[in-house]
Structure 1
Amino acid sequence: MANLSTYIAFLGNAKEAFTHYQDVFGGELQLMSYGDFPPMEGMPFTPDPDTIAHAQLDLDGGTITGGDAMPGEDYVVQGSIYSLLYTLDDVDKARELIQKLVDAGGSIQMPFEPAPWGATYGQVFDKFGVMWSFDVPA
């Protein structure tokens, strides 16, 4: 069965980010550090055993995956070129999730309100710089 999921590379704080996402959204979290794996031949670097090689959060309606970026990579996380779109069927639930992200240090990018196309829509940056778009169809 095919499945498409989002993958986010964090700059050394993937464990904190994914634990936060589980606190906000619920779901089942799996974390694997490089220390959980046997030595990997041919790796172009020696990974810190405490960094996250792979994280997966299975939540209602989707999966978020990610890990810590490779040494020397300095991805810019915050930006509006991408966002995670979470479509829900309950305006109050969407407001609750947005508020949890804001209360934890996030910021509103676009207020969650009725949109011209009939849905209720808004955007928020979480404390890690990831943009979340929330959509509740009419």
Structure 2
Amino acid sequence: MARALATYISLPGTTAEAMHHWHEIFGGELNIMTYDDVPMEGMPFEPHPGAVAHATLDFPGGSIAGSDVVDDKTYPIRDTAYSFLLTTQNADEARGYMAQLIDGGGSEAMPFEQAPWGGWYGQVFDQFGVMWAFSCDEDSPRPQLI
């Protein structure tokens, strides 16, 4: 039986930077191993110096793993076909994460508002082009407007 589902992403040489950025926002435990630390004998490719072979960020409520792309192809990162969805305890927590991702060089894709299906939902693209979606249960209180 499966134990847990985690997100895995390969970025174009920015995995270490992204993982450090996400660690600053979400906290948790960060581990990064580069190909410099891995025996390369028998590997079918030649990674760039310092390329990330495997990184993990385990934080309250989630886990992200990833590595750097090891070929010279261009892969789209910024897209709406996927997102990292984080369900928070309340709307203020989600808004806080969204603000940190935007302040870190990201942009709002969808404001955090009550969703037609109940609850709250919003989206941001971080500085790396990754779309983050945030949600919380419908019984989360509406924020006080002053």
Q: TM-score, normalised by structure 1?
A: 0.95
Secondary structure of the corresponding residue to residue 22 of structure 1: helix
Q: Which runs of 5+ in 1 are unaligned?
A: none
- Mapped to 2, the partners of 1:5 and 1:49 lie a distance apart of 27
Alignment correspondent of 1:36: 37
Equivalence for 1:10: 11
Q: Please name the residue that 2:142 is paired with.
A: none
In the TM superposition, what is the alpha-carbon distance from 1:39 to its structure 2 partner? 2.7
Measured after TM superposition, the shift of residue 73 of structure 1 is: 2.7
Give structure 1 regions of 4+ aligned residues with deviation exceeding 3 angstroms.
none
User: Could you tell me the percent identity over the aligned residues?
Assistant: 47
The match for 2:24 is 23
Which structure has the greater CA radius of gyration? Answer: 2
What is the aligned partner in structure 1 of residue 58 from structure 2?
58
Equivalent-residue separation in structure 2 for 1:110 and 1:49 (angstroms): 37
Equivalences for residues 1-138 of structure 1 within 5 A: 2-41=3-42, 43-138=43-138
SS at match of 2:41: coil
Moved more, 122-131 or 47-56: 47-56
- Equivalences, count: 137
- In 1, the alpha carbon distance for the partners of 2:46 and 2:86 equals 36
Q: Do the aligned residues in 2 keep the contact of 1:84 with 1:132 (CA within 8 Å)?
A: yes
SS of 1:3's equivalent in the other structure is: coil
Query: What letter corresponds to residue 83 of structure 2 in structure 1?
Result: S
User: 1:35, 1:48 within 8 Å by CA — same for their partners in 2?
Assistant: no
Q: Are 2:88 and 2:94, in contact at CA under 8 Å, matched by a contact in 1?
A: yes
Secondary structure of the 2:30 match is: strand
Distance (whole Å) between structure 1 residues aligned to residue 40 and residue 118 of structure 2: 53
